[in-house]
Amino acid sequence: MRCWFYQEDILNFRPRERFITGAALIKRWKKQPHIQPPEDFIQGLVYDSRLTDFHPVTRFTKWSDESYVPSKETALFQLSEVKEIEKVYFNKDNYSETNKDDWFTESEAKTTKRRDTQINAIVQQAKTFGYNSLSIPYGGKTKIKNECLKNTNLFTEAGFDHAWRKARKDSLVEVENIDSYRSKPA
């Protein structure tokens, strides 16, 4: 497949965001002795919605859900999120050499879990629409999602999807007639 671009367009191109692969991130964070193995640290950040993983074809990766095919190494992460995490967690001023279990920042300790906040927002939005959170009608999830995504400080599209899956797993939300959406065995 051939692809042509004007030289001027290439020279003037400024990406809005840069990305790093899961393999490169693991290698980058292996240098941090207090987060070994880095895979566990990354998994926790993804779970808490502090780090968003994605794959350009399948959207989610094994970081989000072990049932997805793309490996953790092929996942992509926003470099801006990675740098923000490094600023918060790896800054020498925020790391106590005397107590290695206490290396989270003070502000981090005060912050409630982002995922729990997202799940609460989803459940509250369902109530706002007058839905029983365990029997959300057809089209209701989309309405809830669209409303939640207006809160850009709390939600990204992927963050909503992660929170929704966790809320379903914890039996906090469900759509009506869920069995009718599931594929029937052959």
Condensed to tens digits (0 to 9), the pLDDT of residues 80-137 reads: 888 888 888 877 444 333 333 333 444 443 334 678 888 889 999 999 999 999 999 9
Output the pLDDT for position 94. 41
Across the chain, where does the E strand assignment appear? 19-21, 53-54, 76-78
Structure tokens given for 41: 């640290």
23 Cβ contact list (under 8 Å, min separation 6) = 73, 74
pLDDT per residue as tens digits for the range 12-21: 878 888 899 9
* Whole-Å CA distances, 93 to 88, 89, 90, 96, 104: 9, 10, 9, 8, 11
Residue with tokens 């895979």: 39
Single-letter residue type at 143: K
Quickly list DSSP for 16-74: S--EEEHHHHHHHHTT-GGG-SHHHHHHHHHHTTSS-EEBTTTB--TTT-TTSSS-GGG
Tell me what pLDDT residue 145 has.
Answer: 95
Q: What pLDDT does residue 142 have?
A: 94
Q: Which residue has the higher pLDDT, 1 or 142?
A: 142
Among 33-42, 96-105, 155-164, the least confident range: 96-105
Q: How far apart are CA 5 and CA 28, in angstroms?
A: 33
Residue with the bigger pLDDT between 169 and 60: it is 169
Phi, psi of 54 (to 5 degrees): -160, 165
Q: Report helix, strand or coil for 77.
A: strand
Helix (H) or strand (E) holding 126: helix 114-128
Is residue 59 pLDDT above 90, yes or no? no
The predicted pLDDT at position 98 comes to 35
